[in-house]
Amino acid sequence: MTGVENQGHFWGRVLRWLIPVVISGGAIWLVLRDVEFSRIWASLRQIRFQTFLLASAAYFASYVMRAFCWYLLLRRKVSFKDVFFTMGAGYLLNNLFPFRLGEVGRAVLLDNPQGPSALEVLSSVVVERVFDVFLAAVFVLMTIPRILGGDFDQTFVVIAFVVTLFGMAVLYLAVRFRSHIQAWLESWGEKADFIKNWVTPKAIQVLEGLSVLLDPWAFLLAFGSLAISWLIAFGENLIVFQSIYPNPPFWWMVFVLSAAAFGAALPSAPAGLGVFEGVMVAAFALLGIAPEVAFTHAIVIHALAFVYANLLGLIGLRMRGEAVVGLYQRVVRRRNQVKPTV
């Protein structure tokens, strides 16, 4: 690699780190530019210790149901305990590093010759994410008419809903006709070594990871578990918000958390810092809630998720004899390895 290429590679890495940080910084500035910190402090002081206990219990209940969903998507090929703490380790990576490395981290940790391959794990995470986006779109579509009535153009949310539904259909058809896809790849592989040695084996592993879509009961149970996780998370938000705002309707939490889920897809600093708070404040603004109250709620919910997910992740890494930096390095190497080279 020449000096010019080295320099280009260096600046490419700098920009990859810098752009998410700038987006998060801009979001934080937009949120905080008009708030009164004394009112934020006053709102925080309204939250009692019992509220934190109840919200923490709700967080863990939601987490358990989400872990159970992933356990089913993995076709029970690993123990629930491994799934439970590995998911925490994935969140830990996302909270500490940019680029959504947590998903690859899950695959690296669960990759086992006697169990699922890394690509099978990744495909199960893809299905989980598709479920997430689908549910978020449904919840937003359910609540937006109550906020803005018929004056709101729901095109974007409808498009997200349709695209996600289409994605689920494509995943189902791919695994439904995986034998045909495998035969086609093997036939194509006879003419190209790259297809035979790189594409075909990985495609087979990915399709194996999606095989849960062929089992209606497992599919419905996994999807239902994730839906319950969402409902409990709405309850967690209600527990926190009603301690700083009197008698909020439950559907407010449905709208705000679903909107925050879409915001989480935006590039940002690790843990979605700034972007999560910004989207929540914007969603609450549509409900007529002061930014100080909305920001207080956002930082409490975000802090609970950050602390507990990191704690579970550290326990999981300790159980496996892993270190955070070591796992990060393995994930980066694995991500580079899966890039095709001709």
Residues 277 and 296 sit within 8 Å (Cβ to Cβ): no
pLDDT tens per residue, range 271-283 = 677 788 888 998 9
In terms of residue numbers, what domain contains 106? 15-27+36-337
Give the H/E segment covering residue 198. none
Task: Measure Cα distances from 281 to 82, 137, 255, 275, 326 in Å.
Answer: 36, 19, 12, 10, 36
* 342: in domain: no
Please state, in angstroms and rounded to a whole number, the distance separating the CA atoms of residues 243 and 251.
16
User: Residue 262 falls within a domain, yes or no?
Assistant: yes
3 part of a folded domain: no
Q: Is residue 239 one of the residues assigned to a domain?
A: yes
d(C-alpha 108, C-alpha 88), whole Å? 14
Asked if residue 6 is part of any domain, the answer here is: no
Using alpha carbons, list the distances in angstroms from residue 64 to 31, 164, 226, 320, 338.
32, 24, 10, 20, 31
C-alpha 168/C-alpha 164 separation (Å) is: 6
Write down the pTM of the prediction: 0.81
- How many domains is the chain partitioned into structurally? 1
Residue 126 vs residue 235, higher pLDDT: 235
Q: What is the DSSP letter of 79?
A: -
Residue 265 lies in a domain: yes
pLDDT value at residue 185: 73
Mean pLDDT over all residues of the chain? 81
7 within a domain of the structure (yes/no):
no
Average pLDDT for 6-11: 51
Residue 4 domain-assigned (yes or no): no
Residues 6+ apart with CB under 8 A from 275: 23, 24, 27, 263, 264, 266, 268, 269
What phi, psi does 245 have (nearest 5°)? -145, 130
The Cα-based distances of 73 to 2, 24, 60, 61, 108 in angstroms read 45, 32, 20, 19, 17
> What mean pLDDT is predicted for residues 98-103?
77
Mean pLDDT of 106-118: 83
101: Cβ–Cβ under 8 A, 6 or more apart, which residues?
93, 94, 328, 331, 332, 335
Q: What tens digit of pLDDT does each residue of 179-209 get? A: 888 788 777 777 777 676 666 666 766 676 6
Contacts with 320 (C-beta within 8 Å, 6 or more apart), sequence order: 109
Distance of CA 101 to the CA centre of its chain: 11
Cβ(274)–Cβ(24) below 8 Å:
yes
